[in-house]
Amino acid sequence: MTTASSPTPSELLESARRDHAALVERGLSLNLTRGKPSSRQLDLSADLLELPRGRYTAADGTDCRNYAGAPQGLLELREIFAGLLQVPVEQLIAAGNASLELMHDSLANAFLGTVPGGTGRWADAERIAFLCPVPGYDRHFALCERFGIEMIPVPMTDEGPDMDVVERLVSADADIKGIWCVPKYSNPDGVSYSDEVVRRLAAMPTAAPDFRIFWDNAYAVHHLTDEEVEIADVLAACAESGNPDRVLVFGSTSKVTFAGAGVAFLGSSPANVSWFQGLAGKRTIGPDKINQLRHAMFLGDAEGVRAHMRRHRELLEPKFETVERVLTKALGGTGLATWSTPKGGYFVRLDVLDGCAREVVRRAAEAGIALTPAGATHPYGDDPRDRTIRIAPSFPELDALEEAIEGLAVCVRLVGAEKLVAEQG
Amino acid sequence: MTTASSPTPSELLESARRDHAALVERGLSLNLTRGKPSSRQLDLSADLLELPRGRYTAADGTDCRNYAGAPQGLLELREIFAGLLQVPVEQLIAAGNASLELMHDSLANAFLGTVPGGTGRWADAERIAFLCPVPGYDRHFALCERFGIEMIPVPMTDEGPDMDVVERLVSADADIKGIWCVPKYSNPDGVSYSDEVVRRLAAMPTAAPDFRIFWDNAYAVHHLTDEEVEIADVLAACAESGNPDRVLVFGSTSKVTFAGAGVAFLGSSPANVSWFQGLAGKRTIGPDKINQLRHAMFLGDAEGVRAHMRRHRELLEPKFETVERVLTKALGGTGLATWSTPKGGYFVRLDVLDGCAREVVRRAAEAGIALTPAGATHPYGDDPRDRTIRIAPSFPELDALEEAIEGLAVCVRLVGAEKLVAEQG
């Protein structure tokens, strides 16, 4: 069936081996592992390093240097992000420098107390399970492992998690207490949840009365195209469905201002916010209000955030275009890989032939190209088809990125051809 | 037996009633409740509001704006505080803006995991108890209540907790998993632990294999006299006694730089530090390194901290002298009260006649003087003798403080005289 112009698998393998040897020869040192902003992106917030320039009072007169005041976070900062995160300002908490902390503490509080609507401490349950749409975010999975939460994978579709599967599982199993969601520009697919998926998540019957959606809206304002995707308001949808306490909304400025020194947010129902704040009030007298003041001064308002994110896009869009261009040129039409073309967020999902992802990552490492470990996108590091690789193009400069993706493509060709040849043999 | 020059209890009561009525008449609004730094103390760190002035790299080259690097906190900041907190720098963690968070998380981690030397999760134990030297710090007690930890009061002496009581209790009861200690200028006594108390805490046999000393060294460098009290090195003492994992040392810059925007520290054995960091690494990618850089730049070195604290002392010492002077003038020789004269820290302990503390606080509130609720210095808010009142003189300006203490003394005279008259009748 092979036409004269199509190389045989053996020919493919031969040329891929030559290319890989040459690649190793070059002794590269490139890193595509984590979704870190680049230095030039961080430079966009350089003024934060000069703020608050002697000012220390919040709009309500609170002395941000001292203990008291604003335990829920500075109102002027919450006002900026309330609309962007689709949370009423009085239901939005502004806290420390990482939304991961707020997810962790929400779990810890559920394990050591009783969440609104719950019947007891999760720590006392025989078994606690969470649904994990796959591929997903490895730090969510690490939190589950840390708390001994069983992870149940659920397939992703182009519109979010497969809701038929989700509904079937949560209606039958009261041990399933939650689901991880990255609802916009998901990590690593770049999928944004459809209105219908949001509606079904909000309305579905759950066997657990204290079921929680962990809504990690990490890329709420992180657009890469003019489309600027909007998702449905999950908090409102839950309230309208009679499940007001179902969802915890998380967000942060980690990829808006500084990844290590930003501000994180938690939004939810009045009951959940009051529950969380009651416990947070035992843990701390309050968040770093000076850093919140700094952020409010720097960003100004929601339009200020949008304008700032357009400057991020100017730096990020060429990188995602480079990934798309290089992958298309090197792998398009080969049948050896498919990949996502996200409209926002920080990642490209690359799927290689079944059983090849680990080997591709290993071959890339041989050539000095560090990738997120294969399997990291799945609970327990176990990608049953061993095919998904997460590409994080944000951090390297453009020329290094191009080199890295070209090298990665060589590894995909090599491992793919090896598989095809082995199957022939 | 009353001499001509000594007023009778009835005469005392009469004059105190007149003074209290006049006090109420004045309509004061004064607050002695919390150990907050004053605005002038916060002004000492005004330069922090200008830093890091465009700089963002740590000494080791870490870009403090980004995610990666220094998960245990910036080395240059840990180097400044290692000696001051008596913790080897490699065993010191620099984290967020509140040491209370680190105490909370140490407890949460013990409840949800197994501490080094432990046999299981504290969450699975029928009963967990902590020793609470009294009087003590209400936020420690609130943490115990939050986690359902039973609090067992232990009397304080002039040298620290009564070690005969402590040793008897911990050797007999394996449910006693810890003790709260504020070892220097304790809250609210101002007591500093003697070397012998530290040695006995480190060496005592405990029925619980995972017993922990929560060593809240909140006032490590907060001197009010030239004596600059030193306490024994508890971490070294524990290691020397064969109990290296027994103690968790906490400290912060809350009362060095900004109460709301400082840096907190946790120091312990290598095993405990690695246990804590392993779990913290699931919760966050790292602390706010920019704020740590800011602090390292501002404080410079340990001598910089000491010099800075001498400027705090210049502002605080006159306030503590005012408390001493006014109380001596109004209550000296009356037998109605005794009080501490601390060499450091943030509080004065005022003991009134048994059964009078709540009523004194109520009478002061009538006159517009807000005091920490009586009982707050004891677990469950229960001071069995109802006699201890905590005075926090740091926040008010001098003239307001003088007015407040004068008013407080009137209330002590009033309630004391009421008691004496009632006892006579």
Q: Provide the shortest C-alpha distance from residue B207 to chain A (in Å).
A: 25
**Using a CB-CB distance cutoff of 8 angstroms, which residues of chain B are in contact with residue A46?**
54
Q: Provide the shortest C-alpha distance from residue B360 to chain A (in Å).
A: 25
In this structure, the answer to whether residues A279 and A329 fall within a common structural domain is no
In this structure, the answer to whether residues A172 and A275 fall within a common structural domain is yes
User: Is residue A41 one of the residues assigned to a domain?
Assistant: no
- Of the candidates A39, A112, A288, which has its C-beta nearest B97's C-beta? A288
Q: Between residues A345 and B9, which one has the greater pLDDT? A: A345
Positive or negative, the CA dihedral A313, A317, A319, A323 is positive
Beta bridge partners of B153: B132
Q: Which of residues 90-109 of B touch A (CB under 8 A)?
A: 96-98, 100-101, 104-105, 108
Strands A247-252 and A264-267: antiparallel
pLDDT range class, residue B425, cuts 50, 70, 90: confident
Helix (H) or strand (E) holding B189: none
In this structure, the answer to whether residues A66 and A21 fall within a common structural domain is no
User: Is residue B110 one of the residues assigned to a domain?
Assistant: yes
**Using a CB-CB distance cutoff of 8 angstroms, which residues of chain A are in contact with residue B50?**
50, 53-54
pLDDT at A34: 84
Residue A22: how many CB atoms within 10 A of its CB?
A: 11
Q: Provide the shortest C-alpha distance from residue A74 to chain B (in Å).
A: 12
In this structure, the answer to whether residues B216 and B350 fall within a common structural domain is no
Task: Give the pair of three-digit tokens for residue B311.
Answer: 């400027």
Number of domains in chain B: 2
* Cα distance between residue A159 and residue A156, in whole Å: 8
Strands A264-267 and A337-339: unpaired
Do B405 and B162 meet the contact criterion of CB atoms below 8 Å apart? no
| CA distance to A100, B54, B155, B194, B201, per residue, from B160 (Å) | 40, 46, 9, 7, 10
Do A346 and A35 meet the contact criterion of CB atoms below 8 Å apart? yes
What would the pLDDT profile of B11-29 be if each residue is shown by its tens digit? Answer: 999 999 999 999 999 999 9
**Using a CB-CB distance cutoff of 8 angstroms, which residues of chain B are in contact with residue A145?**
282
Number of Cα atoms under 13 Å in the Cβ half of residue A130: 27
What is the count of residue pairs from A and B with beta carbons less than 8 Å apart?
Answer: 161
In this structure, the answer to whether residues A74 and A91 fall within a common structural domain is yes
* pLDDT reading at B5 higher than 80: no
Q: Do B260 and A67 touch (CB under 8 A)?
A: yes
Output the CA angle A230-A231-A237, nearest 5 degrees: 140
B297 close to A (CB below 8 A): no
Mean of per-residue pLDDT scores for chain A: 96
Last residue of a domain, one of A300, A329, A358: A300
In this structure, the answer to whether residues A216 and A231 fall within a common structural domain is yes
Percent above pLDDT 90 for chain B: 96
> By CA distance, what is B109's nearest residue in A?
A108
User: Is residue A366 one of the residues assigned to a domain?
Assistant: yes
What would the pLDDT profile of B342-361 be if each residue is shown by its tens digit? Answer: 999 999 999 999 999 999 99
* Cα distance between residue A352 and residue A412, in whole Å: 7
Q: Do B96 and A96 touch (CB under 8 A)?
A: yes
In this structure, the answer to whether residues A291 and A167 fall within a common structural domain is yes
In this structure, the answer to whether residues B246 and B273 fall within a common structural domain is yes
Q: Where are the beta strands (DSSP E) in B185-296?
A: 212-216, 247-252, 264-267
In this structure, the answer to whether residues B341 and B214 fall within a common structural domain is no
pLDDT at A396: 95
In this structure, the answer to whether residues B119 and B75 fall within a common structural domain is yes
pLDDT at A4: 55
* pLDDT reading at B211 higher than 50: yes
User: Is residue A108 one of the residues assigned to a domain?
Assistant: yes
Last residue of a domain, one of A275, A300, A325: A300
* Cα distance between residue A250 and residue A217, in whole Å: 6
* pLDDT reading at B34 higher than 80: yes
What would the pLDDT profile of B220-260 be if each residue is shown by its tens digit? Answer: 999 999 999 999 999 999 999 999 999 999 999 999 999 99
User: Is residue A4 one of the residues assigned to a domain?
Assistant: no
Q: Do B288 and A97 touch (CB under 8 A)?
A: yes
User: Is residue B39 one of the residues assigned to a domain?
Assistant: no
Q: Provide the shortest C-alpha distance from residue B423 to chain A (in Å).
A: 41
**Using a CB-CB distance cutoff of 8 angstroms, which residues of chain A are in contact with residue B141?**
none
Q: Which of residues 128-147 of B touch A (CB under 8 A)?
A: 139, 142-143, 145-147
Write out chain A in H/E/C secondary structure: CCCCCCCCHHHHHHHHHHHHHHHHHHCCCEECCCCCCCHHHHHCCHHHHCCCCCCCECCCCCECCCCCCCCCCCHHHHHHHHHHCCCCHHHEEECCCCHHHHHHHHHHHHHHCCCCCCCCCHHHCCCCEEEEEECCCHHHHHHHHHHCCEEEEEEEECCEECHHHHHHHHHHCCCEEEEEECCCCCCCCCCCCCHHHHHHHHHCCCCCCCCEEEEECCCCCCECCCCCCCCCCHHHHHHHCCCCCCEEEEEECCCCCCCCCCCEEEECCHHHHHHHHHHHHHHCCCCCHHHHHHHHHHHCCHHHHHHHHHHHHHHHHHHHHHHHHHHHHHHCCCCCEEECCCCECCCEEEEECCCCHHHHHHHHHHCCEECCCCCCCCHHHCCCCCCEEEECCCCCCHHHHHHHHHHHHHHHHHHHHHHHHHHHC
In this structure, the answer to whether residues A164 and A234 fall within a common structural domain is yes
Q: Which residues contact A92 (CB under 8 A, 6 or more apart)?
A: A72, A73, A78, A81, A82, A85, A265, A266, A267
Domain that holds residue B142: 53-300
User: Is residue A1 one of the residues assigned to a domain?
Assistant: no
CATH code, domain carrying B357:
3.90.1150.10
Q: Do A49 and B290 touch (CB under 8 A)?
A: yes
Positive or negative, the CA dihedral A330, A332, A337, A338 is positive
Last residue of a domain, one of B300, B324, B339: B300
Rounded mean pLDDT for each run of 10 residues along chain A, 425 residues in total: 70 96 95 93 97 96 94 98 98 97 98 95 97 97 97 98 98 98 97 98 98 98 97 98 98 97 98 97 96 98 98 98 98 97 98 98 97 96 97 96 98 97 89
**Using a CB-CB distance cutoff of 8 angstroms, which residues of chain B are in contact with residue A56?**
42, 49
> By CA distance, what is A142's nearest residue in B?
B282
> By CA distance, what is B99's nearest residue in A?
A284
In this structure, the answer to whether residues A314 and A293 fall within a common structural domain is no
> By CA distance, what is A112's nearest residue in B?
B147
Is the peptide bond prior to A7 cis by the omega test (within 30 degrees of 0)? no
pLDDT at B1: 45
- Of the candidates B53, B279, B291, which has its C-beta nearest A288's C-beta? B291
A59 close to B (CB below 8 A): no
- Of the candidates A46, A68, A100, which has its C-beta nearest B283's C-beta? A100
**Using a CB-CB distance cutoff of 8 angstroms, which residues of chain A are in contact with residue B123?**
111-112, 121, 123-124
B52 secondary structure, DSSP code: T
B254 close to A (CB below 8 A): yes
Q: Do A259 and B65 touch (CB under 8 A)?
A: yes
User: Is residue B40 one of the residues assigned to a domain?
Assistant: no
* Cα distance between residue B245 and residue B116, in whole Å: 7
Do B188 and B377 meet the contact criterion of CB atoms below 8 Å apart? yes
B68 close to A (CB below 8 A): yes
- For the residues of B271-316, what is the DSSP string, one character each? HHHHHHHHHHHHH-S---HHHHHHHHHHH-SHHHHHHHHHHHHHHH
What would the pLDDT profile of B55-91 be if each residue is shown by its tens digit? Answer: 999 999 999 999 989 999 999 999 999 999 999 999 9
**Using a CB-CB distance cutoff of 8 angstroms, which residues of chain A are in contact with residue B139?**
282
Q: Which residues contact A46 (CB under 8 A, 6 or more apart)?
A: B54
DSSP three-state, residue B98:
coil
Is ipTM > 0.90 here?
yes
Do B320 and A290 meet the contact criterion of CB atoms below 8 Å apart? no
* pLDDT reading at B2 higher than 90: no
CATH code, domain carrying A92:
3.40.640.10
* Residue closest to A299 by CA, chosen among A288, A311, A307: A307
